[in-house]
Structure 1
């Protein structure tokens, strides 16, 4: 039986918790939107009745953005601002919706604000100007924006994507920890690039040869020379090319340094008869591989 990784249970709990929170938030948000549209539609109906209009239609209530709604009417109508204040306030109170909101009555023709007011649970912050003056008959749109809304779950609908992203990051983080702790050292080593030279494994990045689990360290020059030979097996490489690539680029006088390092490589590789570094007289060297 496989043992469950110690972080698996934690990951499941975190993701389940996040899913539960986001699901609850979505349900609460949908409930708020649905209830608000019903209440505002009824408020629009009451305004028409007070305008002695029982036949024209109230257009669908629109959610312009979260907690911002719009009521439109089929026909022009004449408003008394005090009626708007009374009807909307009583409708929202009946449904126990927020008591902090702002109302704007816009003229359809130019979208200018014909009348506006703000209600607040703190009475001194409530602003209701010119409530006794009639608005002339025209096409109007009523916008209602709820202020300082706090969803019971502790965050708003717009925060849900951030919570989901956080959950994904937590999940990825735990996966990373799990992978880094469970990966054996031998597996990491196996990912290092190497070349096969007869019975040797050549690791240029680590400057070493490996044969039968025995490691042979190479000097920087030995490694650079062998790397050139491995890149051109069974090909004669001119002395000038070797010295230029290994020494002259560094501005160092060569002398017989090349021959010395070739001799060292031959001694290292002598245990394998299938490979050898041969001398092309007067030209250069060649790594012969069977």
Structure 2
């Protein structure tokens, strides 16, 4: 029989699938933001802790280790303020604030304003985008007058933040791995022929099979019954080859269906009856050969020994 084309081992395909799903899960976890919604109590709590930490380090750098840090005031869902009763060094503020926000897992964009307590006028300030640019943070190095200041941090509302690109990264990487997997499969598993393969390869059966007064060439799917030649279909040839390979033996119906039609994926019980009827008509020119039905069991190819060539 012709050997089937080498296919990519199913266990390897399964392993690749599991690895791909695991990788996508990890990427999704890493790329998905973990910051709580800006209008949630958890977000406000984290910002409160981050601002108090920032105020503490600013006062320590200014030489104040005893003053009470006042509570953080929240003007709305996105705006938080903390009052510092004495002047502080503005230069380390951007790095200190960013480190405090990072410590509490806050990645929402924000703007910073330093206001004087008396009039609420803006004295110094910057935006988060200034930290990622090549230029120094604005207002750095400027002198501050002694007095009271309010540190105001305003976070960008969720609707103003561009959509996260996590899903696009996942889709892009999925497409990349799918392409790689398909390329590997194409290189390892040769393409199946467009039509059904011959019943047997020519090298497996160089000579026609003779039975009764007939002969059968499986490689070319050709039957010579008596003096009449017939070109067989793939299923006709496969069924005849099964019978000729088991002369005078009862073949159960289930065995016939499994041997001849299993590669279709769907087995129809009446298929054997239909094709046996076809072969009987093709073999009727040879009186030494008969396909007999064995009631309730299957079929048998009967060959008369005295007429067999």
- What range describes the TM-score normalised by the shorter chain of this pair? 0.3 to 0.5
- Whichever structure has more strand as a proportion of its residues is 1
TM-score if structure 1 supplies the norm length? 0.39
TM-score if structure 2 supplies the norm length? 0.37
> Higher relative CO (CA 8 A, sep ≥ 6), structure 1 or 2?
2
